[in-house]
Amino acid sequence: MRRVSFSVLAAVMAVALVVVWGPPAQAGGEEHCVVEVVGEKPNGELRLSTPRCHSSFADAMLDASDGLMQLSVDVASDVVFTDEMVGGMVSTFALGIHYDGFGGSGSSITVVGSSCTGGWWNTTSSWDNRISSSYNGCSRLTHWDSPNKRGSSQSTYGSGSTDDLSYMNNRAESVSYH
């Protein structure tokens, strides 16, 4: 009887930990998501697909490029600016890649599209106030403090470059692509 009670208690505790702390982190603690522009509202806000998330940056790039970009499974997410060839290829399909670490490190979300005409993305709740650096697929990305391009902003420049955010680090709730 005592063993059964202990087993039940252990199971309840395990469930409680998942409820309080969330499910176990993915391998390496990173998650790399891809969203595609599926339309644009009259006001310029981009309509995006449901995020598709992967445990490796290589898998996210394979997804974002429709299978054209095959990277080594252990490649670091900063490869888009350390390898000129990779960076050039990514700029053909990504408006931007946003990272939760400096220098293109950590988890990422890739916004796939082809129009750098000022449309913007209101970050999802899981990316609100989380962006620390961005890869520019467009010539300029502007990171806004509030949804709908409101509040303070900081721009990063140069298609194919990755820049750290300074005063907008972990503050962006919308990003526009120019």
Give pLDDT, residue 27.
44
Q: What is the pTM of this model?
A: 0.82
Contacts for 117 with CB less than 8 Å, ≥ 6 apart = 177, 178
Tokens read off for 171: 């503050």
Least confident interval from 37-51, 70-84, 94-108, 115-129? 70-84
Burial of 72 (0-12, 13-18, 19+ CB in 10 A): exposed
Bridge-based pairing state of the strands 32-40 and 108-112: parallel
Cα-Cα end-to-end distance for the chain: 67
Bridge-based pairing state of the strands 174-177 and 150-157: unpaired
Instruction: Check if the beta carbon of residue 90 is closer than 8 Å to that of residue 84.
Output: no
Model confidence pLDDT, tens digit, residues 98-146: 999 999 999 999 999 999 999 999 999 999 999 999 999 999 999 999 9
Give pLDDT, residue 25.
38
Instruction: Check if the beta carbon of residue 35 is closer than 8 Å to that of residue 51.
Output: yes
Contacts for 84 with CB less than 8 Å, ≥ 6 apart = 160
